[in-house]
Amino acid sequence: MTYLLDTTTYILQGAGITLRLFALTLIFSLPLGFLGAVGKVSGRRVLTLPLGLYTSVVRGTPLLLQLFFVYYGLPLMIPALRFERFTAAALTFIINYAAYFVEIFRGGIQSIDRGQYEAARVLGMTYRQTMVRIVLPQTLKRVLPPVANEAITLVKDTALVVVLGIGEILRNSKEVVSRDFTISPFVIAGVIYLVLNYGLVWLFGRMEQRYRVYE
């Protein structure tokens, strides 16, 4: 019992890194994704072309490769761009997930019937008022499920930073497995991931209920 408690405590120390990376990624990638989506639906080529290239490249390459590029590749190309391990991981995750959120928010905005824009124009609303009062509340409700899926994927993707030698949940559990030749640390890590994801499912479920008024 003492062994399991000590092992769980050590693995949970890595959970702090996981949660920090998770929080930083969502805090920055969600607003960046929203702004990128607004740019893509604006119809201005000066915005749509670079944003289209950005989302295509980021979504078309593995996150693991992007981690290697930011941490190992950028310093070779530009020596001044040498990041700490966690900083490189956070920057990579933000860039990666923002690209997915751009497409999620874009799809949500474009799913709103054009008739609602026309009705708002008849009522004398400006484009900004139409977006804030009519389009965005409905968009938020529609994008919650895919955003929830990305958030759950993000929790699991944080395990990829083990390749940079960052002591998150998976690396800490792997160290105990290598030391004690037992798989119980992997089981504990799996339970921790399940608990984190269950919490996210519950949270987004509550948010979906709150925004059902816009259906």
The radius of gyration of the chain from alpha carbons, rounded to an integer in Å, stands at 21
Distances (CA, A) of 71 to 60, 74, 84, 120, 210: 19, 6, 8, 48, 41
Task: Please classify residue 49 by burial: count the beta carbons closer than 10 Å to its beta carbon, then call 0-12 exposed, 13-18 middle and 19+ buried.
Answer: exposed
Half-sphere exposure (Cβ direction) of 64: Cα atoms closer than 13 Å: 5
The CA dihedral of 36, 38, 41, 44, to the nearest 10 degrees, is -80
Query: Residue 170: which residues within 8 A CB-CB, separation 6 or more?
Result: 14, 159, 162, 189
Is pTM beyond 0.85 here? yes
Which three-class secondary structure string do you get for the chain? CHHHHHHHHHHHHHHHHHHHHHHHHHHHHHHHHHHHHHHHHCCCHHHHHHHHHHHHHHHHCCHHHHHHHHHHHHHHHCCCCCCCHHHHHHHHHHHHHHHHHHHHHHHHHHCCCHHHHHHHHHCCCCHHHHHHHHHHHHHHHHHHHHHHHHHHHHHHHHHHHHHHCCCCHHHHHHHHHHHHCCCHHHHHHHHHHHHHHHHHHHHHHHHHHHHHHHC
Q: Are 177 and 185 in contact (CB under 8 A)?
A: yes
Q: Could you list the pLDDT tens digit for every one of the 215 residues in the chain? A: 787 888 888 899 889 999 999 999 999 999 999 999 989 988 888 999 999 999 999 999 999 999 999 999 999 998 888 899 999 999 999 999 999 999 999 999 888 887 887 887 888 887 778 877 888 888 888 899 999 999 999 999 999 999 998 988 988 998 888 888 888 989 999 999 999 999 999 998 888 777 665 45
pLDDT of residue 213: 54
Domains of the chain in sequence order: 2-214 (1.10.3720.10)
